[in-house]
Structure 1
Amino acid sequence: MRLMTGIFAAALMAATSSFPAKAAGPELSDWAAVEKAATGQTVYFNAWGGSENINAYLEWVGAEMQSRYGVSVVQVKLEDTASAVAKVIAEKAAGKNDGGSVDLIWINGENFVSMKQQGLLLTPGWASSLPNWAYVDVENQPTILTDFTEPTEGLESPWGGAKMVFFHDSARTEAFAMPDNATALLDWAKKNPGRFSYPAPPDFSGSSFLKQVLSEVIADPSKLAKPVSEETFNADVEPLFAYLDQLHPAAWRSGKTFPQNYSDMKQKLADGELDIIFAFNPSEASAGIKAGELPQTVRSFTFSKGTLGNTHFVAIPYNANAKEGALVTANFLISPEAQLRKQDPTYWGDPTVLAMSKLPEPDRAAFKALDLGAATLAPDKLGPVIAEPHASWMERIEVEWRRRYASGN
């Protein structure tokens, strides 16, 4: 899912500094009343639309919501989450504090931070008041409670996990030769010119790669948990751009152009143009194999000292027209049934946010029986999670990347 670009984020901060406190929502203590009020509502779910399997999963969610609760869910397919945020900003500027066009947003990172700071989200605490919150693994998944260093405070509800993994075609490259960290990846790329690349930011995958490298090469990683310091920014990111200056000449097409997005990288791996690609989902390789998009011989690997990880969420704007319908949809998304289907690579392969120990035995057994696929690493083989940097880092880095490389030189 695309995160907000730095220029847009800056504009948002400037344009919305007078926004009011977060709007109150329905009374969640009477859940039956919430479900009753939701009946007949249409929820406009603004969600990234760049993946056919995710779109198909959301179609299933819509069918289940209609049959179970009489709620219609319409996916508004986005290329960039910032466009949905812009709708809410425009409606607020026009004084439309009720009956908004956005009911539910797939969100995290810069978008969440900005909307929270400007009071554009439904009242705090609604997410942790959902009935199915009782199953959520807040104890072992700290990114559920802190989104890109920002406390979530029940303003958004988790519905999936993410962790960066790399994969290769074992028919062409040996597993033992795969790099174990960013420095080793650079060395590998120099020895195998043209066989690695990444999408240009602000593409989500490309920006994630930059954050991974930055987290490994910055002199003081603890700085990434705090907002960017203008005084030290250039010195802090110098190792990142020194890395990229070495990588680009050895990259696909000598770094003069870049893959469009993850789907483009995946196609290039399948076509033999690239030998190493990456995704922000441990099940992505297996899902690609099942869909016939990747060879059966593709396998995953990761870095032993850690890769980026985060949680993705849904949030409800303060002026949503179908607040009750959005609440019921968010609750269904963290139900054991919806989470089980989502983790199945046949449908999506997105890791669950639920704690197995909190589930009824039949649901635990169903998760245990899932075939995650031969290309999916076991949870204990994924390595440590590197926390996402504070949102301000990517805003600045994307601008600096464009300044240095967007012209192709």
Structure 2
Amino acid sequence: MLRKIVGMIVCFSMIFTLVGCSGKENSEAKVTDADFEEIVKTAEGTTVNFYGYGGDEVMNKWFDSYVIPQMKEKYNITVKRTGMNIDEIMNMMLSDKQAGNTEGNIDVVWINGENFKTAKESNLLLGSFTDKLPSYNNYVNTESEDVTTDFGVSTDGMEAPWGKSQFTVVYDSNRKNRNITDSESLKNFVKSNPGKFTYPVVSDFTGSAFVRNIIYDIVGYEKVSSLPEDKEKVKEVIQPAIDYLNEIKPYLWNEGKTYPADLSQLDNMYSDGEVDATMTYNCNSIRGKIDTGEFRDSSKITEFKNGNITNVHFLSMPFNTQNQEGAMVLIDFLMSPEAQASKTFTENWGDATVLDMDKLSDKEKKEFSADSVVIEKSVPEPSAGMVSIIEEIWTDEVLNAK
């Protein structure tokens, strides 16, 4: 989910322009008043354009070989998936908004966190729609904070939960000091295997998560979560973690002079043996990548003793979708017990379900994978504003450190 520096400059300049008028409601379109049965009828025979992260080949294969055929068979809807980094997707939506383009190319966007915050504040989303979806109403715990908020931002029905993610570091357990349980043992691993560890820049979603998890492990989630969104105060509290990241920097790949641009690049480096570790927001995807030969058999996940960051990822519709009915049918299907069960298998994707299992029948429950990896100790994400502050501090104090 790379956001290149140039892209960031363009993106932020648009954000400032848009936020200035964010009090205005989107006049281009609104969520249909039709019920779901009518929505399904209207969507029949149409095409839905799905945009989201495309760097996970196991997930891509599942989507293309399962979701697309199922949507055609069940609803006569053609789904086209476009894999794209979230920075590019955000820039597309921001550009459309600034240009007044009411005929967008995106119908469904895979989004969460600070990007949802930006999209919501800048009126880039169509509106509240989840109450229209049977799968959401029948199978999701709609009162759960995981669903009602996204990195501390109220979802207000503007995005539908799709899956749960748990961050972890993946490493080759055949290497020296291979038992990683916390930041200290990770440091030993890094120093014992110089040049064989790195992490993406924080403009990448997973690289940012690595930095946050190190901060949590060293400083403590409680101290970070109670902080005001004030850069100087945050910097003071997280300084021990910043010192840690600078301490390991000379031992990183390329001596920490550069960092991978995104997770896809890091995964490729790990696959090629250039580094001995990568990272992911999907613990269950590792088994699938081992089975396909993408990752080595000795790959192991890290369970930080102070907790691994966990969050929910969502689906939404841009303000200028050309097919909101088809988009809602696709989103509803992706939340259905059938699709949610399918993606829990590691050979498909290994993504954890967002459904409330107590709302499923015994027969439906049996369709889910019994081998899903769940890290027992999890910690929530900080607010979206806090994420941005931490990323700024890392850029100033680690990336650009003299």
Report the TM-score, using the length of structure 1 for normalisation: 0.86
Partner of 1:110: 114
**Stretch moving more, 239-248 or 179-188:** 179-188
Is the CA contact (8 Å cut-off) linking 2:2 and 2:261 kept in structure 1?
no
Change (3 A) 1:137 1:173: farther
Within 5 A, what are the aligned runs for 1:281-360? 281-360=282-361
Change (3 A) 1:232 1:34: same
Letter in 2 for 1:244: L
Which secondary structure state, in structure 1, belongs to the residue aligned with residue 82 of structure 2?
A: strand
Cα distance in 1 between the residues matched to 2:397 and 2:275: 24
Change (3 A) 1:171 1:95: closer
Note the alpha carbon deviations across 1:196-238, whole angstroms, 9 max, x for none. 2212231222111111112233478454466621442432342
Partner of 1:87: 92
Letter in 2 for 1:36: K
Between the aligned residues of both structures, percent identity stands at: 30
Change (3 A) 1:190 1:94: closer
Residue 268 of structure 1, CA deviation: 4.2
Change (3 A) 1:155 1:3: farther
Cα distance in 1 between the residues matched to 2:382 and 2:3: 13
Is the CA contact (8 Å cut-off) linking 2:176 and 2:192 kept in structure 1?
no
Residue 386 of structure 1, CA deviation: 1.6
Residue 132 of structure 1, CA deviation: 0.4
Within 5 A, what are the aligned runs for 1:160-239? 160-172=163-175, 178-218=179-219, 221-224=222-225, 228-239=229-240
Letter in 1 for 2:286: A
Letter in 1 for 2:106: V
Which secondary structure state, in structure 2, belongs to the residue aligned with residue 366 of structure 1?
A: coil
Letter in 2 for 1:310: N
Is the CA contact (8 Å cut-off) linking 1:7 and 1:395 kept in structure 2?
no
- After superposition, the CA RMSD in angstroms is 2.7
Change (3 A) 1:234 1:244: same
Cα distance in 1 between the residues matched to 2:184 and 2:21: 45
**Stretch moving more, 104-113 or 163-172:** 163-172
Note the alpha carbon deviations across 1:255-309, whole angstroms, 9 max, x for none. 2233444344444445554444321111122011111112233232311221111
Cα distance in 1 between the residues matched to 2:277 and 2:60: 26
Is the CA contact (8 Å cut-off) linking 1:123 and 1:155 kept in structure 2?
yes
Note the alpha carbon deviations across 1:98-123, whole angstroms, 9 max, x for none. 43222110000111101111222222
1:21 aligns to 2:14 (yes or no): no
Note the alpha carbon deviations across 1:45-78, whole angstroms, 9 max, x for none. 1111222222222223222212211222111221
Change (3 A) 1:2 1:38: farther
Cα distance in 2 between the residues matched to 1:296 and 1:121: 42
Is the CA contact (8 Å cut-off) linking 2:135 and 2:332 kept in structure 1?
yes
Change (3 A) 1:203 1:95: closer
Change (3 A) 1:325 1:248: same
Change (3 A) 1:251 1:95: closer
Partner of 2:380: 387
Cα distance in 2 between the residues matched to 1:40 and 1:257: 48
Cα distance in 2 between the residues matched to 1:312 and 1:210: 19
Is the CA contact (8 Å cut-off) linking 1:122 and 1:155 kept in structure 2?
yes
Is the CA contact (8 Å cut-off) linking 1:255 and 1:408 kept in structure 2?
no
Is the CA contact (8 Å cut-off) linking 2:58 and 2:349 kept in structure 1?
yes
Residue 42 of structure 1, CA deviation: 1.7
Is the CA contact (8 Å cut-off) linking 2:176 and 2:189 kept in structure 1?
no
Letter in 2 for 1:52: E
Residue 357 of structure 1, CA deviation: 1.8
Change (3 A) 1:231 1:287: same
Cα distance in 1 between the residues matched to 2:180 and 2:285: 19
Cα distance in 2 between the residues matched to 1:236 and 1:303: 20
Change (3 A) 1:78 1:55: same
Letter in 2 for 1:53: V
Which secondary structure state, in structure 1, belongs to the residue aligned with residue 368 of structure 2?
A: helix
From 42, 49, 52, the counterpart of 1:44: 49
Which secondary structure state, in structure 2, belongs to the residue aligned with residue 144 of structure 1?
A: helix
Report the TM-score, using the length of structure 2 for normalisation: 0.88
Change (3 A) 1:184 1:297: closer
Partner of 1:63: 69
Which secondary structure state, in structure 1, belongs to the residue aligned with residue 325 of structure 2?
A: helix
Cα distance in 2 between the residues matched to 1:119 and 1:107: 15
Letter in 2 for 1:62: I
Change (3 A) 1:217 1:72: same
Change (3 A) 1:362 1:4: farther
Partner of 1:78: 84
Residue 43 of structure 1, CA deviation: 1.4
Partner of 1:143: 146
